[in-house]
Amino acid sequence: MQEQMTDLSGDCARCFGLCCVALPFTASADFARDKPAGTPCPNLRDDHRCGIHAKLRVEGYTGCTVYDCFGAGQKVSQVTFGGRDWRTGPREDARRMFDVFPVVRQLHELLWYLTEALTLPAARPVHADLRRMLERTDALTRGTAEDLAALDVPAHRQKVNVLLLRTSELVRAGFGAANRKRNRRGADLMGARLKGADLRGATLRGAYLIAADLTGADLRGADLIGADLRDADLTDADLTGAFFLTQPQLNAARGGAGTRLPDSVTRPGHWTA
């Protein structure tokens, strides 16, 4: 699973620091200062690497540590613009590169979900449709800068979502009727006390789980697509078989050595031992 996702993770060595330039951020608990879109972060070096990468959290840039472009940075840098650096190329190329990057990032996130869905045995009835959609989405990421700028991403996302919802239904069907029908989609569970909760086969799509206590919770087979896990405590929680969980979501949460994870993600380095 990890090998299949390699091209869908950020590779800073093949990117021109696009997330550090194209995206804006606001002074907050996540960022130490304001930065408008299209302006390089003051910590970005001339070689497109971060000058404080080893101490981002200490310096007040926690938001950078939980971000992942899903491989969009290297795709835009090396494919869309053929390796042309925004620092040395025409100003118009730089502007288009910054405009296209968020579009490709959204498409690559969809590729992540589609790729994971194809590894789920329970979703076999829709594997053919998922494969066709994955190929279509991948083809879109390889379009010209003009094609990408004109793309209706929400419309394409909706087509993908139909298949992802069907995938979710098929996977969660194996966890029993009671839990399968447990629908917490978009629920406000900020700060919720869910210690030891049985959430097997639940749908937590888009749920707000900010600072929720999920210590020891059973999240096996749960659909976590779009769930906000910022500062959620996953200590000793079991996420084995949880699906549509991304690395950025996990990086934003808290956990430890006892947290059991699906193969699609890795244990964050900042979690306590």
By the 8 A CB rule, do 171 and 179 touch? Answer: no
Domain residue extents for the chain: 1-171, 178-272
Question: How much is the pTM?
Answer: 0.92
| Mean per-residue pLDDT, 153-177 | 94
Give yes or no for residue 219 having a pLDDT over 60. Answer: yes
DSSP label of 175 = G
Per-residue pLDDT tens over the stretch 56-112: 989 999 899 889 999 999 999 999 999 999 998 888 889 999 999 999 999 999 999
Q: What does the buried/exposed string (b/e) look like for 184-206 if buried means 16 or more CB atoms within 10 Å of the residue's CB?
A: beebebeebebeebebbbbbbbe
Which pLDDT score is estimated for 2? 47
What are the respective helix, strand and coil percentages of the chain, to the nearest 5? 40, 5, 50
Per-residue pLDDT tens over the stretch 34-46: 999 999 999 999 9
Which pLDDT score is estimated for 89? 80
Computed over every residue of the chain, the mean pLDDT equals 92
| Mean per-residue pLDDT, 185-205 | 95
| Mean per-residue pLDDT, 205-226 | 97
CATH architecture for residues 178-272: 3 Solenoid (2.160)
